[in-house]
Amino acid sequence: MDRAIYILLGAPGAGKGTLAAIISKEVDLAHIASGDLFREALSKGTDLGVEAKKYMDKGELVPDQITINMILDRIARPDCDKGLLLDGFPRTLEQAKALDEALAKNGENVTKALLIDVSTEEVVRRLGGRWICRDCQTPYHEVTMRPKVEGTCDKCGGQLYQRDDDKESTVRSRLEVYTKQTKPLIDYYGKIDKLAKVNGEGESEEVAKRLLAVV
């Protein structure tokens, strides 16, 4: 089959979901988010879903082969005939190699890996610094949406607090994990000349334009 197969890579906070939605619409690609695939397989109780659940229930990582088979099943559906954009998979070098092998059996290969490049400081600015009102749950942000009085909700006067996930130190350690896991993957696509790096800073419409210029 002659179709485009894109892989979307980017750190947490790089805006992958939003960008994938814009791109897949503009270029008529099926947007395959691995998280959605898992949720669907689990809720429908497919063979692969049942298999994956065994590992998840034990708190273990789902083996690559199960994930790969889930992806292969999904990309064999007719909505992927024109092309597809994988989001959230592959995550590791092993998964990337397994995907290439599986695609090669059908005489296919990855068209390009699109890396949305966002600096650590930008991710920290986007994901860190979020505060929430204890009483009415209104979100605030240290930089982009400051309350009138520090630590106090504009709407109800409630106290603002920070969830662990929104703390700068948590964001930084998540990024470290991401970088460690993804670096070999990025190097791999670079070496086989399939990597397209796109500046991910700025408004999502601007970033989407940059992405569209390389697909």
Q: Which residue has the tokens 């460690």?
A: 180
Task: Give the residue with the Cβ less far from Zn ion, 114 or 160.
Answer: 160
Distances (CA, A) of 175 to 73, 137, 179, 192: 31, 26, 6, 25
Task: Give the residue with the Cβ less far from Zn ion, 145 or 177.
Answer: 145
Judge whether 16 counts as a catalytic residue: yes
What is the closest distance, in whole angstroms, from the C-beta atom of residue 53 to Zn ion in the complex?
39
What is the closest distance, in whole angstroms, from the C-beta atom of residue 175 to Zn ion in the complex?
30
Q: What string marks each residue from 124 to 163 as x (binds Zn ion by CB under 5 A) or -?
A: ---------x-xx-x--------------x-xx-x-----
Distances (CA, A) of 116 to 85, 91, 92, 101, 138: 14, 14, 17, 25, 29
Judge whether 130 counts as a catalytic residue: yes
The active-site residue, picked from 53, 91, 112, 172, is: 91
What is the closest distance, in whole angstroms, from the C-beta atom of residue 133 to Zn ion in the complex?
3
Task: Give the residue with the Cβ less far from Zn ion, 127 or 133.
Answer: 133
Establish whether the linkage from the previous residue to 90 is cis, with ω within 30° of 0: yes
What is the closest distance, in whole angstroms, from the C-beta atom of residue 131 to Zn ion in the complex?
11
Instruction: Check if the beta carbon of residue 113 is closer than 8 Å to that of residue 80.
Output: no
Judge whether 163 counts as a catalytic residue: yes
List binders of Zn ion among 164-203 (CB under 5 A). Answer: none
The active-site residue, picked from 125, 126, 130, 210, is: 130
Task: Give the residue with the Cβ less far from Zn ion, 151 or 202.
Answer: 151
Cα dihedral 98→102→105→111 (10° resolution):
-90
The span from the CA of 211 to the CA of 215, in Å, is 7
Task: Give the residue with the Cβ less far from Zn ion, 12 or 158.
Answer: 158
Q: Is residue 92 packed enough to be buried (19+ CB in 10 Å), middle (13-18) or exposed (0-12)?
A: middle
Q: Active-site residue numbers?
A: 16, 91, 130, 163, 174
Residues that bind Zn ion (CB under 5 A): 133, 135-136, 138, 153, 155-156, 158
